[in-house]
Chains A and B, each alone.
Chain A
Amino acid sequence: MNRRWASLLAYLVAIPVAIAFVFPYAWMFSGAFRRTRDVLSDPLRLWPEQFDLSFLADIGRIGGVPLSSYFLNSVLFTLGATVVGTVAAALGAYALVRRPDLPGFRLIRSGFMLTVMYPYMLLVIPVYIVMHTLGLLGSALGIVLFLSLGPLQFFLFEQFFRAIPKEVIEAATIDGASEFQVLFRIVLPMAMPVTATVSLIAFLLNWAQWFPVLVISRGPETYTLPVALLSLNTELGASFQGIMALAVITTLPPAIVFLIAQKRVMQGMAQGAVKG
């Protein structure tokens, strides 16, 4: 009997908290379809009086650039940085785990750890200079390369490679396999699940990035959805409906990816953090 009361109490706590966590999403969705004056007269209402589609005109062009351009940038930069980052982290982590004794390898890892600790936002001033020096300012390549480096990606691979028993690799080497064969025939096939997890997490993290994109960009042509949302939100006289609609478009792709692969994402993030 006592247990049932405890359970009831737990639900009485958990349900309001869950509602508070979901409410912003519901309010954002309904705000996209409700006319601004309707929101002003009844802010709490979630079901739209009518499905008003005027946001399509409000955000069709932002800062002189069509919405499709922001969306395309988001997709391309995110995918590009995910592929580059996953490959670089996988190969790098493998080399550093297999031969930590090679000259310079310890230094590379410490250098990476230092980068991870540095306040990301404050890296921006010098990154601007670096991009300028490399001639990558305002380029898609500059944005993709900068976004691709991530701690969680590296730690997940490092942890995975460390857990591979040495005997597995030694046995293959004794059978006369070259290092390349060991990597491509034995290690990488084993690493498929962790590669999938890393790619998913990298996609989610890269999609959300905004500050580096803003700094490396020269104009709205290379902005992604979050950057467009930020500039729309600071624009004077921007319509509330348009802002909510753009927030929905920014939120939806990662939310869908997460809901499809929830277990993998949550486990992967917990594991990657435990290593760090």
Chain B
Amino acid sequence: MTLARVRAEGIFYLLVLPFAALTILFGLWPIILSVQVSFTASATALSPNPTWVGFANYATILSDELFLASLWRTLAYTVMAVTLNLAFALGAAMLLDGTLLKRGNMVFRLVLFLPVVTPDVAGYVVWRWLFDHSFGAVNAALDLLGLPAFGGLTTVQTATFAILIAELWHHAGFYMIIFLANLAIRDPALEEAAKMDGAGAWACFRHVILPQLRPAIVINLVYATIQFLKTFTVVVVMTKGGPAESTTFVSYLAYQYFDQARYGEATAMASVLFAIVIALSLLAYRLGERGRT
């Protein structure tokens, strides 16, 4: 290898160094540590010579009612949140893309997107108080409209719904702009041709527009699934997992176990959630790829 070539290639190693160092130090190393801790006894996990226990922590959590319940809850919540967010975002994008909302179009876009760049803690703190029974505007508004009061964060039946609303407010704008970006590059000639053939608005949407939105749907599906499987901040700010554990999702349960120094079990939960995230993302990508060919 000539000196010139070493120098030429060395430059690229130099350039990649900060990025690689950050990735290794604050990404890969903690992940490896996490996996390692999940195979050790909690009491010794953070000591220099941890006791290795094999898959014992995994066996423990898989027979832990709390974990299994929170896992199902997380999956059910993810399905609900993904469906609700993507349906809302698609509806909003369709309305804003057409000429029906010409006046104030940009204002509508800004209003729906602003919560995305609003710090989630701040947004959820406000929602927590909006749902409050004595301070809250939500029940005051329902009362004004002559509707029955909403239980908000205090009843098992309504708490999940309340955080779904707060999360929709925070996230939907992001999925909307992905749909809008995809709508902007679709082929308008196809719709004109469909209209000439006498297709109605619904048929046109279903058979002409929707197929062209496949890329955005796949991207949003992957992003939203990962997003909601990890649901955490909204729980910390609004419900602390309650009432009666009805909003204790896996991330929050793992965090609670961590807080109780049950490190082995907490990291085992992290590994399980990680495996689910990877499996579902790969599945979504596969579906997307198959649609393209």
Taking beta carbons and an 8 Å cutoff, which residues of A are in contact with B?
6-7, 10-11, 13-14, 17-18, 21-25, 27-28, 31, 39-40, 42-44, 84, 87-89, 91-96, 98-99, 102, 105, 108, 111-112, 114-115, 117-127, 129-130, 134, 145-146, 148-149, 154, 179-180, 183, 204, 207-208, 210-211, 225-227, 229-230, 233, 240, 243-244, 247, 250-251, 254-255, 258-259, 262, 265-267, 269-271, 273-274, 276
Whether the Cβ atoms of A119 and B101 lie closer than 8 Å is no
Known: A119-B230, A125-B258. Contact between A145 and B22, CB under 8 A? yes
B213 at interface by CB-CB < 8 Å = no
Q: Assess whether B237 is in contact with A208, with CB atoms less than 8 Å apart.
A: no
Those 7 A-B pairs whose CB atoms lie nearest each other, nearest first: A92-B19, A115-B27, A126-B30, A122-B270, A126-B33, A208-B119, A10-B100
Q: Smallest Cβ distance from A160 to chain B, in angstroms?
A: 15
B114 contacts which of A23, A145, A233, A258 (Cβ < 8 Å)? A258
Cβ contact within 8 Å between B119 and A230: no
**Residues of chain A lying within 8 A (CB to CB) of residue B107:** 18
Contact with A along B1-45 (1 / 0, CB 8 A): 000000011011101101110111111111101100100000000
Q: Once the chains bind, are A125 and B126 in contact (CB under 8 Å)?
A: no
Across-interface contacts of A93 in B (CB, < 8 A): 19
Number of interface residues of B (CB under 8 A): 92
* Bound-state Cα–Cα, A211 to B251, Å: 12
A46 nearest CB neighbor, chain B only: B137
- In the complex, the answer to whether A250 meets B121 with C-beta atoms within 8 Å is yes
Q: How far is the CA of A18 from the CA of B144 in the complex (A)?
A: 19
- Label chain A's interface by main secondary structure: helix
Q: Binary interface profile of B, 85-102, with partner A (CB < 8 Å = 1, else 0)?
A: 000000010010011111
Whether B31 contacts A21 by the Cβ 8 Å rule is: no
Q: Is the CB of B273 within 8 A of A122?
A: yes
A25-B126, A130-B33, A225-B119 given; 7 more Cβ-contact pairs under 8 Å: A21-B114, A114-B28, A118-B31, A125-B267, A211-B233, A266-B113, A270-B178
Q: Is the CB of A112 within 8 A of B27?
A: yes
Q: Is the CB of A111 within 8 A of B177?
A: no
- The reply to whether B18 and A134 contact each other, CB–CB distance below 8 Å, is no
B152 within 8 A of A: no
Shortest distance in angstroms between A260's beta carbon and chain B's nearest beta carbon? 12
Known: A119-B251, A119-B270, A119-B277. A274 touches B219 (CB 8 A): yes
How far, in whole Å, are A134 and B229 apart by their CA atoms in the complex? 31
B79 at the interface (CB under 8 A from A): no
Contact (Cβ within 8 A) B125 A146: no
Q: Do A44 and B178 have beta carbons less than 8 Å apart?
A: no
* Binary CB contact string for chain B from 237 to 257 against chain A (1 if under 8 A, 0 otherwise): 100000000000001001100
Segment at the A interface, from B56-64, B127-135, B155-163, B189-197 = B127-135
Say yes or no: is B154 at the interface (Cβ < 8 Å to chain A). Answer: no
Please, which residues of chain A bring their CB within 8 A of the CB of B274?
Answer: 117-119, 122
Bitwise interface map of B from 266 to 281 toward A, beta carbon under 8 Å scored 1, else 0: 1101100110011001
Interfacial chain A residues near B288, Cβ < 8 Å: none
- Interface contact B174-A269, CB-CB below 8 Å: yes
The listed residue (A14, A180, A265) touching B95 by CB distance below 8 A is: A14
Provide the bound-state CA to CA distance between A267 and B29, in Å: 33
Q: Which residue on B lies nearest to A209, using beta carbons?
A: B119
* 12 A-B residue pairs with CB within 8 Å: A14-B95, A18-B112, A21-B169, A28-B122, A40-B134, A44-B137, A87-B18, A99-B12, A125-B37, A149-B22, A211-B233, A269-B116
Contacts of A129 in B (CB 8 A): 30, 33, 46
Please tell me if the beta carbons of A251 and B34 are within 8 angstroms of each other in the complex. no
Q: How far is the CA of A231 from the CA of B266 in the complex (A)?
A: 23
Interface residue B111 (Cβ < 8 Å from any Cβ of A): yes
Report Cα–Cα, A229/B125, bound state, in Å: 8
Contact check, A7 vs B230: say whether CB atoms are below 8 A apart: no
Residues of B within 8 A of A18 (CB): 107-108, 111-112
- A233 with B22: CB separation less than 8 A: no
A210's contact among B98, B117, B118, B233, by CB below 8 Å, is which? B233
Contacts known (A92-B18, A270-B177); A122 close to B34, Cβ less than 8 A: yes
Q: A91-B18, A233-B125 are in contact. Are A122 and B237 (CB under 8 A)?
A: no
Q: Which of B109, B119, B144 has the most CB of A within 10 A?
A: B119
